[in-house]
Amino acid sequence: MVWKRNTRKKKKGIELNPDEILLDVNNLPAFDRQQFEGRMEQPLAKRSFALLVVVMIFAALFFVGRLGYLQIVRTAYYTQKSENNSLNHIAVFADRGVIYDRNGVELAWNTPGNDVAPTFRNYITDPGFANLLGYVSYPAKDSRGNFWQTRVIGKDGVEKQFDTDLAGKNGTQLIETNVNGKVQTQGIVEDPVQGKNISLSIDNQVQETLYNGIQSLAQSSGYVGGAGAVMDIKTGELIAMTSYPEYDENVLSTGKDKALIQSYLTDPARPFLNRMTDGLYTPGSIVKPFFALGALQQGIIAPDTVLHTTGSLKIPNPYSPGKYTVFIDNANHGDEDMYKAIAVSSDVYFYEIGGGFGNQPGLGINNLDKYANMFGIGQKTGINFSGELTGTVPSIAWKAKNFPNDPWRIGDTYHTSIGQYGFQVTPIQMLRAVSGIASRGTLVTPSILKSVDGKPIGATQVSPQFTSADYDVIFKAMGMDVSDPEGTATNLADPNIPVAAKTGTAQINGNTRVNSWIEGFFPLNDPKYAFIVLMENGPIVSSGAKYAIKPVISLYSANPKLLTE
């Protein structure tokens, strides 16, 4: 069959064959007409596009203008509005821990304060505690009323040493205010953690008694200052540790009495100085028992060997032939053995066993240095209290470093053997050292905290080479210092408590002034406590440190229970 062409012309003169029509039917596009697929698109008219651009420009200008108005013209208004309508995080101050003495007596505690000081720190009014306890500074605000210091901070003494434990941790309070600054809601989102309470090893009664003794002697005899302590020789617990003069803790904490604070800063007596740990002093004769132990150990003299003394020691002057250098004593003690030499504090005896003289051999400077260091003299004790200094024990190396053009001489050894020359010690060092004698060879680390189960704190053995017989000699000699009529500490004799002691006087300021010392322990036959007192910078003719410790001995004598606590 022959198909005829359609005589009707297409618009473009295209003629379609039947097979083409059939093929197109089988290849219809899969357009989704509901989604307007397959429709013809036409370009946007230029006028519509221009209109859209103009609208967008005006919208952008509006927003930029509005933003500038809000941030520049109205910035102060909206800043204040945003600040007034906000959530504020306010510190909730933690209560500071309470400080107690060994018997539970409050030494530092808190009472309600105000908005600047959430709690107010109170201190025991009994004298003698200021340099021990220290003081604090309270939270502080800036000129806009915002806290720049947000807690109570310990600034000295126990308050500073144990600040982390005492301080606790502040909490947080969330406060919501409206645009007018009116509180809408508030609540604690984090509770404060109270600081830890601390129990010191100090007995407030012994502390006050010791301080009063030091203060009374200083004021009556013209000493610039003083310090003293009592320590348990087995545990290292400090039963008392005080320094004179002292400051007022409350005045320094509040900072209100500017005139008084300024007087503290300019006072030549230095009330901020804790003389027990921070002061360095020439020890004088209180080093003699340690060198006596060294002489016994070295076998250079027996305790009952008698040396004849005349009140001075003369040796030829190597730089001036025919002339002598004279080393004087505090008196002419005549014939003396080791017991008497310690009891009367003979310098000549210790010149001879220290540096040697004639047929009597001496320890020599190296051994003097050895035995001083063996008992921790010239070393830090490790006390849990800030500011401890080291000190100096004279030696050949020390002199070569400090006086390079001046060789070591025998006179330097003599002076070292009686605690003079370059000797510098802290009272806490000498307390630990004499405690080492009282315990017959155990050095304990002093502590102002109560020990656990009465165990010694940081105890070390001095030397296994000292025999019990060696210690017996020193015990007897130091006991004679109190009991013998010629002894230098006879005022400490007590009917209830036998005491061992050694006094010392160190000349200072060109021999125009003195430091006075006393060290010792009690009871003599079964020691429990060691003591030390330093009286600083007094007249040549003055009552010695032994008078400052006497009230403490009397306190223990009248209250035997104190010896068992």
CATH number at residue 409: 3.40.710.10
Residues 239 and 169 both lie in one domain: no
Residues 162 and 279 both lie in one domain: no
Q: What is the pLDDT of residue 190?
A: 79
pLDDT class for 84, splitting at 50, 70, 90? low
- What is the SS3 assignment for 110? strand
Q: What is the pLDDT of residue 292?
A: 98
Q: Find how far residue 178's CA is from the centre of its chain.
A: 47
Span 32-56, mean pLDDT? 65
The CA dihedral of 504, 507, 513, 516, to the nearest 10 degrees, is: -10
Residues 309, 336 contacting (CB under 8 angstroms): yes
User: Which CATH number does the domain housing residue 104 bear?
Assistant: 3.90.1310.10
Residues 290 and 212 both lie in one domain: yes
Catalogue the E-assigned strands of 376-525: 442-443, 460-461, 500-508, 513-522
178 Cβ contact partners less than 8 Å away, ≥ 6 residues apart: 84, 85, 184
* Residue among 355, 369, 358, 532 nearest 436 (CA): 532
Residues 475 and 504 both lie in one domain: yes
Q: Is the pLDDT of residue 116 over 50?
A: no
Read off the tokens for 537: 């910078």
463 Cβ contact partners less than 8 Å away, ≥ 6 residues apart: 297, 374, 441
Q: How far is CA 473 from CA 3, 14, 165, 262, 337, in A?
A: 151, 142, 46, 51, 11
Q: Is the pLDDT of residue 244 over 50?
A: yes
**114 vs 55: which has the higher pLDDT:** 55
Span 448-476, mean pLDDT? 88
Q: Is the pLDDT of residue 130 over 50?
A: yes
Read off the tokens for 45: 């008219």
User: Can you tell me which residue has the tokens 């606590």?
Assistant: 565
Say if 232 falls within a structural domain: yes
Residues 374, 462 contacting (CB under 8 angstroms): yes
- The residue out of 150, 169, 199 marking a domain boundary is 199
Residues 178 and 104 both lie in one domain: yes
Most confident of 20-34, 138-152, 392-406: 392-406
Span 501-527, mean pLDDT? 94
Span 381-391, mean pLDDT? 94
Say if 476 falls within a structural domain: yes
Read off the tokens for 239: 């039963």
Q: Is the pLDDT of residue 458 over 90?
A: no
Say if 332 falls within a structural domain: yes
DSSP-assigned states of every residue in 335-359 = EE-HHHHHHHT-HHHHHHHHH-BTT
Q: What is the pLDDT of residue 564?
A: 82
Span 549-554, mean pLDDT? 98
Q: What is the pLDDT of residue 366?
A: 97
- Phi and psi torsions of 377, nearest 5°: -75, 135
Residues 183 and 323 both lie in one domain: no
Residues 246, 131 contacting (CB under 8 angstroms): yes
pTM for the whole structure: 0.81
Q: What is the pLDDT of residue 7?
A: 44
- What is the SS3 assignment for 196? coil
Q: Is the pLDDT of residue 297 over 50?
A: yes
Say if 338 falls within a structural domain: yes
Alpha-carbon span 414 to 394, nearest angstrom:
11
pLDDT class for 3, splitting at 50, 70, 90? very low
User: Can you tell me which residue has the tokens 């420009």?
Assistant: 57
pLDDT class for 6, splitting at 50, 70, 90? very low
Span 497-512, mean pLDDT? 93
Q: Cα angle at 142 between 98 and 174, to 5 degrees?
A: 70
Residue type, 94: A
Mean pLDDT lowest among 250-259, 342-351, 512-521: 250-259
Residues 195 and 209 both lie in one domain: no
Residues 146 and 268 both lie in one domain: no
Say if 11 falls within a structural domain: no
Q: What is the pLDDT of residue 46?
A: 72
pLDDT class for 83, splitting at 50, 70, 90? low
Alpha-carbon span 219 to 457, nearest angstrom:
36
Q: Is the pLDDT of residue 165 over 60?
A: yes
* Beta pairing partners, 327: 313
Q: Is the pLDDT of residue 180 over 70?
A: no
- The residue out of 157, 178, 199 marking a domain boundary is 199
Q: What is the pLDDT of residue 27?
A: 52
Alpha-carbon span 205 to 366, nearest angstrom:
43
Q: Find how far residue 261's CA is from the centre of its chain.
A: 22
**DSSP label at 169?**
B
Q: Is the pLDDT of residue 35 over 70?
A: no
Computed over every residue of the chain, the mean pLDDT equals 87
Most confident of 114-118, 136-140, 416-420: 416-420
Most confident of 43-57, 142-156, 537-551: 537-551
Residues 459, 444 contacting (CB under 8 angstroms): yes
- The residue out of 158, 173, 199 marking a domain boundary is 199
Determine the structural domain holding residue 412 and report its residue range: 204-564
What is the three-state SS of 9-67? Answer: CCCCCCCCCHHHHHHHHHCCCCCCHHHCCCCCCCCCCHHHHHHHHHHHHHHHHHHHHHH
**DSSP label at 309?**
-
Q: Cis before residue 523, ω within 30 degrees of 0? A: yes
Residues 152 and 175 both lie in one domain: yes
Residue type, 91: A
Say if 351 falls within a structural domain: yes
Say if 111 falls within a structural domain: yes
Mean pLDDT lowest among 351-365, 415-429, 438-452: 438-452
Residues 182 and 257 both lie in one domain: no
Residues 351 and 468 both lie in one domain: yes
**DSSP label at 448?**
S
Say if 55 falls within a structural domain: no
End-to-end CA distance of the chain, in Å? 138
Residues 445, 458 contacting (CB under 8 angstroms): yes
How many structural domains are present in the chain? 2
pLDDT tens-digit map of 429-440: 999 999 999 999
Question: Within 222-257, where are the H helices?
Answer: 249-254
pLDDT class for 2, splitting at 50, 70, 90? very low
Residues 251 and 337 both lie in one domain: yes
pLDDT class for 481, splitting at 50, 70, 90? very high
